[in-house]
Structure 1
Amino acid sequence: MLVREGAIYVISRTVPGVLAFATSMLLTWLLPAHEYGLYGFGIAIVVVGNNALFEWFGHGMMRWYESHQDDPVFMPTVLTLFAVSCLLSLLLPILAVTFGLLEGSQTLPWVLLFGTWAYGWFEFTSRIQTCRFQPMHYLFMSIARNGLILVGGILAARLLGSGEAVLLVAFAAMLFSGSLYMRGWARPMRLAFDPVLARQLMEYGAPMFLAMVFSSLMTSIQPVLIGTLASKAAVGGFTISFTLVQMTVLTITQGISMATWPRSVRAIESGDAAASDHQLRSNFTLLLGAVLPASAGLALLAPELGRLFVNPEYQDAIVRTSPWLSACAVLVALRSSYLDAAFQLGRRTALLAQVTGVGAALNLVLAVVLIPRWGDLGAAMAMTIAFAASTIHAILLVRRHCPLPFPRRETACITFATIVMAVAVVSLAGHGAFHLPLQIMGGVVTYAAVLGAFFWYAMSQGLVRRDALARAFGRAP
């Protein structure tokens, strides 16, 4: 069941991810460099705002949903907290104008405020579908959102040539798509508010709030820093490279996390240590088995993808930053979807805030030093080094406070298969549209063959049980 649902969620992130990449690629041709940079700049600010205002109680809702889903005051209380966060977000336009981040624009602050609400609403409602084990609903919501952004954004860019107009269309698509399937969970609710439950969510969420803010200062803030320390036009190169490399890997990561998180919570709440250990081992193996080869493949293929599909103005940025962003993507995936989960499942979110806080501080210091000299490359370097340090920090704290299993055998097999895959991809290198699909197919087939050989050997030696395979692919939750 885990693999089947994980596959659905990966598709739910992959197909919209392809649409998002197509949108970004086409916008590089349709928008002037400054306007495309403004588009990337605006998306970054909205993501930072969402992480600060909405992510904390979204994680809390997912942590408590399994044990409180039948409580009639649970969802009204959570929605009340969402509304309060919307009110707090009114401070964002004031701060943006005060610090001169938006160059005196009269309308952009309010477009970004609307975007923060719309982005937060979509993420919140998609988490509800995840908690309700409705991966197909999430799939249709995601495709609707990114499909509408593709069509509406391209029309706005073509007709108006404005990054601000494209942002407005994108945010409207998020709000609409997030409101689909509300009838499945927003059944008639009485007005209610449980202060005890709200306090529990806030006690859990306060460190999560800090962790989300610090996480934004490690990833989403990079375009803002480039625009401030370098130029708005330089944001465009980083945005398309980030979309091509990191967002592809993070799409896979988030799809897997959506399948594994509810089951991890259920296993922990059951009190069965063996079940929890098995679930966490499965989570790590599935995550690493998808993320490591994807990152390696993108590091090798990103320059060719950029040459074929992206405006030549941004190709140098892709060549410069893709190796750093690919390495960073592996670190982001393992830390955010496995190590960080230990702090959340163990309700030790203060430790998570500590890890992300140290990483954010390091990223900002490195960004101030590196971006003025190397621009987008400096931003990629700063983020990668900061995530490497925070991953090591998280491992040390997890070993001491929230022990996690580390499947060594599976890790070695996946790493070896990835190395063989990389050799195959490099050996098939060439120029032209024909070689790219050949490299992709050759890499996929090689990786699957090597990993399959390891798995067959493990089965023959009794190292992998057939009933475990049945549970992974079975239909029962």
Structure 2
Amino acid sequence: MVREIERGDHAAARRQLLANGTLLLAVLAPASLGVALTGNCIAATLVGSKFAFGVAALIPWMAMSQFFNCMGTHFVQAFQLGKRLHLQIWVAVVAGINAIGLSIYLIPREGPVGAAIALVATAVVTCVHSTVAGRYAYPIPLPISGAVRVGICCAIMAVVVIQFPNSGWTGLVLRTGFGAVAYALAAIAFNLLGSREHTIRMAKHAARSLAAFRSAAVLKKLR
């Protein structure tokens, strides 16, 4: 990607950036949603019963915070690609002011949940700020089409996940397993990241391999 930019092939660089953004979104969105939907299971499994309720309340906020933080890093690279690093300083300054201000306001009122809300708000502001300011350095394309498909796949996954219990190891395994399968099937159905073509190609390769194995077995018996 950097090589394409240095050669002046910005169209190829934007295609790669769009593919990278779609892939990042396709991985982050279901992972973050999955963590949020299994918050009670995770809390009940990892911590004692005295702390499970408090931890469960924090997990969805933590998942959202990590989602926007990771998406923000994708758009932050615009400052490096456009060689305008001074713009990134203002993103960091605004993020710091936002985090401190919200923490001072929310933590005394909401406690740990207030701190988590402050982190989420800061991550959202930073992600949006990086996206907007980054366009003055190097415009990174927004994966809108991919985002729509990911959103639909995540919605299908959520509908499946909430059908299972949200407590203990059993709920964690069921929600994680069936959620992953539902998202994968939805991704193939909507051809997210060309997954349908990849699946068909892999199925054909497996069928050819199986046919070759059977033919070899038949020939071995005849000998």
TM normalised by structure 1 equals 0.39
The DSSP-based 3-state class of the residue aligned with 2:191 is helix
Partner Cα separation in structure 2 for residue 333 and residue 441 of structure 1: 24
Instruction: Report the CA distance between 1:319 and its aligned residue.
Output: 1.7
Instruction: Report the CA distance between 1:458 and its aligned residue.
Output: 6.7
- Return closer, same or farther for 1:376/1:454 CA change in 2, 3 Å cut-off: same
Corresponding position of 2:144: 408
User: Aligned runs of 1:195-274 on 2, under 5 Å?
Assistant: 264-274=1-11
Corresponding position of 2:219: none
- Return closer, same or farther for 1:414/1:348 CA change in 2, 3 Å cut-off: same
1:322 pairs with one of 43, 59, 68: 59
Partner Cα separation in structure 1 for residue 35 and residue 98 of structure 2: 26
Whether 2:157 is the aligned partner of 1:421: answer: yes
On the 8 A contact 2:40/2:166 being kept in 1, the answer is no
Partner Cα separation in structure 1 for residue 67 and residue 116 of structure 2: 14
1:442 pairs with one of 160, 178, 193: 178
User: Aligned runs of 1:4-19 on 2, under 5 Å?
Assistant: none
Instruction: Report the CA distance between 1:373 and its aligned residue.
Output: 2.7
The DSSP-based 3-state class of the residue aligned with 1:433 is helix
Partner Cα separation in structure 1 for residue 133 and residue 102 of structure 2: 24
Pairwise CA RMSD = 2.4
Corresponding position of 2:48: 311
Q: Residue by residue, what CA displacement relative to the aligned partner does 1:376-414 show, whole Å, maximum 9, x if unpaired?
A: 111111111122222222222123442111222111101
Corresponding position of 2:120: 384
Whether 2:77 is the aligned partner of 1:341: answer: yes
Instruction: Report the CA distance between 1:348 and its aligned residue.
Output: 1.2
- Runs of 4+ more than 4 Å apart: 456-460
Whether 2:95 is the aligned partner of 1:359: answer: yes
Instruction: Report the CA distance between 1:444 and its aligned residue.
Output: 0.5
On the 8 A contact 2:41/2:169 being kept in 1, the answer is no
Instruction: Report the CA distance between 1:342 and its aligned residue.
Output: 0.8
1:442 partner letter: F
Q: Residue by residue, what CA displacement relative to the aligned partner does 1:261-285 show, whole Å, maximum 9, x if unpaired?
A: xxx3333334322221121011101
Q: Residue by residue, what CA displacement relative to the aligned partner does 1:70-118 show, whole Å, maximum 9, x if unpaired?
A: xxxxxxxxxxxxxxxxxxxxxxxxxxxxxxxxxxxxxxxxxxxxxxxxx
On the 8 A contact 2:42/2:168 being kept in 1, the answer is no
1:321 partner letter: L
On the 8 A contact 2:187/2:195 being kept in 1, the answer is no
Corresponding position of 1:48: none
Instruction: Report the CA distance between 1:430 and its aligned residue.
Output: 4.6
Corresponding position of 1:399: 135
Whether 2:36 is the aligned partner of 1:299: answer: yes
On the 8 A contact 1:267/1:279 being kept in 2, the answer is no
Partner Cα separation in structure 2 for residue 311 and residue 409 of structure 1: 43
Q: Residue by residue, what CA displacement relative to the aligned partner does 1:252-310 show, whole Å, maximum 9, x if unpaired?
A: xxxxxxxxxxxx33333343222211210111011000000000000011221110222
- Return closer, same or farther for 1:436/1:456 CA change in 2, 3 Å cut-off: closer
- Return closer, same or farther for 1:306/1:383 CA change in 2, 3 Å cut-off: same
Partner Cα separation in structure 2 for residue 392 and residue 282 of structure 1: 20
1:370 pairs with one of 106, 111, 132: 106
Partner Cα separation in structure 2 for residue 432 and residue 335 of structure 1: 33
Instruction: Report the CA distance between 1:333 and its aligned residue.
Output: 1.0
Instruction: Report the CA distance between 1:314 and its aligned residue.
Output: 3.0
2:169 pairs with one of 425, 433, 436: 433
On the 8 A contact 2:58/2:116 being kept in 1, the answer is yes
Instruction: Report the CA distance between 1:457 and its aligned residue.
Output: 11
Corresponding position of 2:19: 282
The DSSP-based 3-state class of the residue aligned with 1:406 is coil
2:52 partner letter: Q
The DSSP-based 3-state class of the residue aligned with 2:142 is coil
Partner Cα separation in structure 2 for residue 403 and residue 456 of structure 1: 24
TM normalised by structure 2 equals 0.80
- Any unmatched runs of 5+ in structure 2? 202-223
On the 8 A contact 1:308/1:433 being kept in 2, the answer is yes
2:61 partner letter: W
Partner Cα separation in structure 1 for residue 192 and residue 123 of structure 2: 35
Partner Cα separation in structure 2 for residue 281 and residue 304 of structure 1: 35
Would you say how many aligned residue pairs link Structure 1 and Structure 2?
Answer: 199
Partner Cα separation in structure 2 for residue 456 and residue 345 of structure 1: 27
